[in-house]
Amino acid sequence: MSPSRTGSVWQRGLKRGEDFPVALVLALLLGLWCSQALEMSVGKVASVEALNGSSVLLPCTYSSCIGIQNLYFNWQYNDNGTYRKICEATIKGPGFEPNVILFWDRVEFVGSSRSSNVSIVLHNITFEDEGEYICFGRNPKEKFRNHSTIYTLIVVSELKVVDKTLTIIIASAVGGLIGLLIVVMLLKALILFVIAKNHEKNKECLVSSSGIDNTENGLSGSKADNKPTPKA
């Protein structure tokens, strides 16, 4: 289709009030906006299993393509549908450290705006601390768009011992196979070296035997040629 033909079709579509191009543009703009929105993340693993009485890190980081300004964040605990606030703070911008307000005595803020980190540590955990922890953020620079992510804490009386028998067997088999290949390569190199040495020795023997035969047969260059001619 020629450019003029394409242009006429577009113009006719606009004159008729067709909304398909407008909807397409809006969808693209919406996708671009969503890609720039604030995002809170707890990493690839969204749960942790910790020992009763220990300390556990609750990780959370934030990111935004267009930057942050007066970013508000907090941590909450889901207590059977009732959300209890653990801590909260506002980050004015990149490089500004937040003045965190703590609502739990056993909580320590370990994040930093330099690494876009708002993680906390929960000390001396008990079985009552088990459950969902929500990391929430709201960025006014994106028209107060907010986002949250959930991290699940599982409290146990003792940590499970991971059975590494299969791993050890596989590692031993692989190591044995590699060792066998190395031994085979060394034997091959040794055999080739011995064969080469024997070949050189055989060549030397052949040359020596050929010289001895020529001397005994009175050929040119032998002792028989050096005998004086008998006088008449």
pLDDT of residue 119: 98
Chain center to CA of 197: 51
pLDDT digits (tens, 9 = 90+) for 149-190: 999 999 999 877 666 677 778 888 888 889 888 988 888 888
pLDDT digits (tens, 9 = 90+) for 117-158: 999 999 999 999 999 999 999 999 888 788 999 999 999 998
Please say if the pLDDT value at position 210 is more than 70: no
* pLDDT interval class at 32 (50, 70, 90): very low
* CA–CA dist 117, 59 (Å, integer): 8
pLDDT of residue 225: 53
Please say if the pLDDT value at position 193 is more than 50: yes
Q: Is 170 exposed, middle or buried (0-12, 13-18, 19+ CB in 10 A)?
A: exposed
pTM above 0.85, yes or no: no
pLDDT of residue 31: 47
In the CATH scheme, what architecture does the domain 36-156 have? Answer: Sandwich (2.60)
pLDDT digits (tens, 9 = 90+) for 72-111: 999 999 999 999 999 999 999 998 999 999 999 999 999 9
Whole-number average pLDDT of the chain = 80
Domain boundaries in the chain?
Answer: 36-156, 162-200
SS (H, E, C) the chain: CCHHHHHHHHHHHHHCCCCHHHHHHHHHHHHHHHHHCCEEECCCCCEEEEECCCCEEECCEEECCCCCCCEEEEEEEEECCEEEEEEEEEECCCCCCCCCEECCCCEEECCEHHHCECCEEECCCCHHHCEEEEEEEEEHHHCCEEEEEEEEEEEECCCCCCCCHHHHHHHHHHHHHHHHHHHHHHHHHHHHHHHHHHHHHHHHHHHHHHHHHHHHCCCCCCHHHHCCCCCC
